[in-house]
Amino acid sequence: MKVPRILLAAGASGSGKTLITCGILQALINKGVKPCSFKCGPDYIDPMFHSKVIGAKSRNLDTFFAPEHIVRWILADNCRDCDIAVIEGVMGYYDGLGGTSTRASAYDVARVTDTPVVLIVNAKGMSGSAAAFVKGFKEYRTDSHIEGVILNQVSPMIYQGLKAHIEEECGARVLGYLPKVTDCLLESRHLGLVMPDEIENIKEKLQKLSEIIEDSVDLDALVELAKGAPDVEVSKPTGAAFDFHTEGKYPVKLAVARDEAFCFMYEDNLRLLQKMGAEIVEFSPIKDEKMPENVSGLILYGGYPELYAKELEANKPMRDSIAAAATGGMPVLAECGGFMYLHESLEDNEGKAYEGVGVIEGKAFKTQRLGRFGYVTLEDEGGEFLKGVEPGPIPAHEFHYFDSTSNGETMTARKPVGSRSWKCMHQSENIMVGFPHLYYYGNPKVPAAFLAKCEAYGRKRG
């Protein structure tokens, strides 16, 4: 399949990838080009900024979560009817599992999808050393895919000299630069950038950023580079683990929490549920008085419940509604922030405790550092929820500053590098909840088991 595409990478986090990616997306739209966007890795927040620009949901490409042919299929499937795919890298370009492997890095995504890469270089305080930086990244792997460069925080006075020097020394085309900007920056907090809707005048800031990029980046050359990408070899997922011949098999209605407190979700997770037949009904545990009616299942994804713990406690009718559904047999999936909300109590960001739903006996509490974070593989230890499914390895991800007095013990989480492991996940006949985030394309047996339970619950309830 022909997919014009480009991957924007950098040498390290904090180099300006998200800022420049959003600016380029808006600039392309201003030129009448229709982009789609992706984020390498398991990040939730950066795709929200992409979506704020393009008006459509951004997706994730992750070579730990999914096999290589699935990653290519997700890329191609989400690019239909678009002119160009813009992929934002993760961390440093070669940063992968265990700190030394390139697996699951932005480079790995470029390799798997055969995508041309533009290296963003934060050249603040650099001159000729910028060429050494580019040369090192370009030659670190013979198939680096690095074909272009954008310089960040560079003055127009030294840009032309740096451009000529880098192109002569490195054989990579310098496509432009971004001067130092102060009024378009994106703020961060403990799990990454703040939410797009929390930034005042976000659309105006991104429009201003795009105008700067239109003046300083050769967008025509960027599009030309993307159009030169090889065709993507695409094969539709098949086999027992990807049971796509049962598309539409589970015609159930699901309640999915989505608001300021619960906003960390992979759009491809929701899309896969819909492919399997589910109808998604969104609701807000903060603002709505009760769960949607006539639903057969509930999903509580992650987010920032600690920032809205007071509001969540104040909405007792909603907490009672969720507790009644869970204790009444409705199938429930919850992860990270959603799992915290189900506790008897959860702390806010200052350590003050508030009442939760009460389905999980225990409390979710604030810690001072990331305790369990990064990729893991879950191994089911005979939990009731997946009984008879034999799911095999389940790829997942953890990233949280909070912990629980009751993490669950029905699964073992193992790090992909090293020997570290721990117990996690609560399972019962109708509940599977815990801190790990799941990516359903990594093991579709899990969402299929959930939907089968939802269908059985719906039939029982009439």
pLDDT at 268 over 80: yes
The pLDDT, as a whole number, for residue 206 is 85
Q: What percent of the chain has a predicted confidence (pLDDT) above 90? A: 79
Residues 153-172: tens digit of each pLDDT? 999 999 999 999 999 999 99
The residues annotated as belonging to the active site are 336
- Secondary element (H or E) of residue 366: strand 360-366
Banded pLDDT at 244 (limits 50, 70, 90): very low
pLDDT at 426 over 90: yes
Quickly list DSSP for 228-260: TSPPP------STTS-GGGTT----EEEEE-SS
- Secondary element (H or E) of residue 28: helix 17-30
Q: Which two tokens stand for residue 318?
A: 């909603």
pLDDT at 116 over 80: yes
The pLDDT, as a whole number, for residue 245 is 45
The pTM is what?
Answer: 0.93
Banded pLDDT at 285 (limits 50, 70, 90): very high
pLDDT at 432 over 90: yes
Strands (E), 66-137: 84-88, 117-122
Q: Which of 98-102, 129-133, 352-356, 427-431 has the lowest mean pLDDT?
A: 98-102
Q: Which of 245-249, 298-302, 382-386, 419-423 has the lowest mean pLDDT?
A: 245-249
Residues 168-225: tens digit of each pLDDT? 999 999 999 999 887 665 665 455 556 666 666 778 888 899 999 999 999 999 999 9
The pLDDT, as a whole number, for residue 192 is 58
23 contacts 176 by C-beta, under 8 angstroms: no
Long-range own/partner contacts, residues 140-143 (CB < 8 A, 24 or more apart)? 140/94, 141/94, 141/102, 141/107, 143/111
Residues 347-379: tens digit of each pLDDT? 999 999 999 999 999 999 999 887 788 999 999
- What's the count of helices (H) and strands (E) in the chain, helices before strands? 13, 26
Residue 203 DSSP code: H
CA distance 79 to 376: 29
